[in-house]
A and B are shown apart, each in its own frame.
Chain A
Amino acid sequence: DVKVTQSSRYLVKRTGEKVFLECVQDMDHENMFWYRQDPGLGLRLIYFSYDVKMKEKGDIPEGYSVSREKKERFSLILESASTNQTSMYLCASSFLYRDRGSTEAFFGQGTRLTVV
């Protein structure tokens, strides 16, 4: 079974702190994603990566950065946490078939971040 693991289930940080959310997948997937989930807004893509060291902005990248130094790990960084970044963060990964697109995305259990 595909396993996508997020380092923390719950996190409380102070305004202005630099926050790292870590995600690891164990199925050698090329694609990795960070989504943010807020009530009434569904899932919104923050950043994604289709290869090591490659990253693309999603729909709401402001205030975030990412790092992918190894294929299995994709980190989301909040440079200076703010209260409006209080949310559920979901990591996902998928396998890329070069000739027929990607598989379905597999999700981690989510990190509920509260910025106070």
Chain B
Amino acid sequence: AQKVTQAQTEISVVEKEDVTLDCVYETRDTTYYLFWYKQPPSGELVFLIRRNSFDEQNEISGRYSWNFQKSTSSFNFTITASQVVDSAVYFCALSDFAQGGSEKLVFGKGTKLTVNP
């Protein structure tokens, strides 16, 4: 069965610090997708990234970067020069193929990030 582990329950940093959120996954599938979502205090989950299991290149988007390593089954998320607006709960998720060729998502328990001014 698919499983996602986010070992860090809560992280607190001071603005401008870099912070890395860890994500470790378990799957028997050879093809799968990994995701990160952000949930700000307003509650709505915001999609950040979707990564195919065949693409191990690191990805950078502004202050956000993702490090995907199949050898360690990890998909870690780094925020560079953190800002107060980055304060949120961040979820890592793994695809689980289901009926009709569709995918459902298996989520980790989330990491609450607090960025203090």
Contact = CB atoms under 8 A, between A and B. Distances in A.
Interface of A: 30-31, 33, 35, 40-45, 48, 50-51, 54, 56, 58, 88, 90, 92, 94, 96, 98, 101-110
Given A43-B91, A101-B33, A110 B44 contact: yes
B95 A107 contact: no
Given A51-B100, A54-B100, 6 more contacts: A30-B102, A40-B109, A96-B102, A96-B103, A105-B47, A107-B45
A30 B97 CA distance: 14
A35 B109 CA distance: 13
4 shortest A-B CB distances, which residue pairs?
Answer: A42-B109, A50-B102, A50-B100, A107-B45
A45 B106 CA distance: 8
15 contacts: A31-B102, A31-B104, A40-B9, A41-B109, A42-B108, A48-B102, A50-B98, A50-B102, A54-B100, A92-B45, A94-B102, A101-B31, A105-B47, A107-B45, A109-B43
Given A42-B108, A51-B100, A104-B35, A90 B91 contact: no
Interface of B: 9, 31, 33, 35, 37, 42-45, 47, 50, 91, 95, 97-110
B100 A104 contact: no
A52 B42 CA distance: 31
A108 B44 contact: yes
A111 B95 CA distance: 24
Nearest to B95: A101
Contacts of B98: 48, 50, 56
Contacts of B108: 42
Given A41-B109, A42-B108, A104-B35, A109 B100 contact: no
A101 B97 contact: yes
Contacts of B105: 33, 43, 45, 92, 105
B101 A101 contact: yes
A34 B101 CA distance: 18
